[in-house]
Amino acid sequence: MKCKVKKLYILLLLILTTSIMSGCWDYFEVEQRGYVLGVAIDRSSIIDKGKENEIAYNRELEEMEVEEGNTKYAYTIQVPITARAQIQPSGQGGSDGGGKKKVWNLTVAGNSFFEAQREYSTRIDYPPFFEHIQAIVISEDVARRGIIEPLDMLARDSEMRRRVKVFVTSGEARKLLDIEPKIDDYSSVYLANLTDNISKTSRMAQRTDLGGMAKSLHSNRSFILPRVTTNGEEVKCAGGAVFKKGKMVGWIGGLDVNYVNWAADSVKGGTIVVPMPDHPGDLLTFEISKADTKVRPEVSDGNITLHIKSNVKVNIAEQLRDDFYNTFYEEFVNKSQKAAEEKVAKGMKDTIEYVQREYGADVFFFYNAMERYAPDTWDSVKDNWDEVFKEVKLNIDVDVKITQRGLIK
């Protein structure tokens, strides 16, 4: 009898537990969330009134009354209109079959993003939800004044994804969200997906997410963010914005970013183009299959020399000449490898020296090698590494091996 009563109690307890735990404490209808896919940050038109780069927001912008001071920033969020977010015929990216927009880009000017976020609630009936955010675009005007302040809430809030991609543009950031992609439905997704092509090209910055950027900001280290430009119809991601002490100090081009990636051991793919051996008017293109770079510091009499060693494996992708050339000759292979080695070594040296001279910003993460392999010296220079970095000497060695030559006999 006692056994039956015990079993009955257990059964009732299981039924009660199941009924209590069947729901979710933060349950929310999917259709009633305002999923934010992208954020653009510009300077407020109040601050820049009278300047040539004043932002004219027209109907998209509401100049809200802030609690303290004047408005500094104009924050734009991109929210998909889920009722129209369906697969459409080719050429209808960014709008539905009837030409209607599939996204809603809302711009609010304010001092802080959190304050602006609450202001969105006066214009959108679904609360903004940031756990699916794909891209953050910052205007150069904001970046040069410093990004710690406008990005504080985005980096601090637990709802934000650490892997969201961060970009800098020379114009208005919100214009990047206005793009109607040809393939993707949303410009924010289009931007984020562009960075997946790092295995095809090294002309875009490799470490681009919010988490990595926040880590560099907290440790007061220099870094680069990818540059994006637009012609109004599409986006190009190449080159980078150089940041030092939380502020943008200048631009570097796509080729420079390419060699920054070489020095920082971030090359995932790309090409090396050199003149054909014994035929300087013709070109030979290599496809990078693997690249490995190691940096070792050497300290002598207080002087620091960085020994940079790159081991590269390449495939012959293309030769530009009027007739086919037999690429299996050993002499041809040796000369081609040497040409590629000299090309990469010179490119790295020129880029590193340019950044040393112009910006004094260690965007190559050489400080990691100093901390690991020369800890005593690092302890003495870490507080003024930017100045010490300008005087660092370089010793670059590149070893290229051709592993595949194609199917042409």
Q: List, for residues 285-334, the tens digit of each pLDDT value.
A: 999 999 999 999 999 988 999 999 999 999 988 887 766 666 677 888 89
- Please, which pLDDT band fits residue 34 given cuts at 50, 70 and 90? confident
Higher pLDDT, 195 or 29: 195
Burial class for 203, CB neighbours closer than 10 Å (0-12, 13-18, 19+): buried
- pLDDT of 96 reads 56
Structure tokens at 112: 């802080």
- pLDDT of 406 reads 67
* 354 alpha carbon, distance to own chain's centre: 22
- pLDDT of 85 reads 53
Higher pLDDT, 82 or 192: 192
- pLDDT of 324 reads 63
pLDDT of residue 354 exceeding 90, the answer is: yes
Q: Which of 106, 95, 87 is nearest to 36 (CA)?
A: 106
CA gap 361, 349 in Å, rounded: 15
Mind listing the pLDDT tens digit for each residue in 148-168?
A: 999 888 888 777 788 899 999
pLDDT of residue 54 exceeding 70, the answer is: no
Percent of the chain at pLDDT > 90 equals 50
Q: pTM score, two decimals?
A: 0.83
- pLDDT of 69 reads 59
Mean pLDDT in residue range 246-266: 95
CA gap 215, 192 in Å, rounded: 20
Burial 204-216 (b: 16+ CB within 10 A, else e): bbbbbbbebbbeb
Mind listing the pLDDT tens digit for each residue in 80-115?
A: 887 655 444 444 445 555 556 788 898 888 787 887
Q: Domains, the chain, ranges and CATH?
A: 30-252 (no CATH), 259-404 (3.30.300.210)
Range with top average pLDDT, 49-63, 65-79, 229-243: 229-243
pLDDT of residue 387 exceeding 80, the answer is: yes
Range with top average pLDDT, 65-74, 115-124, 246-255: 246-255
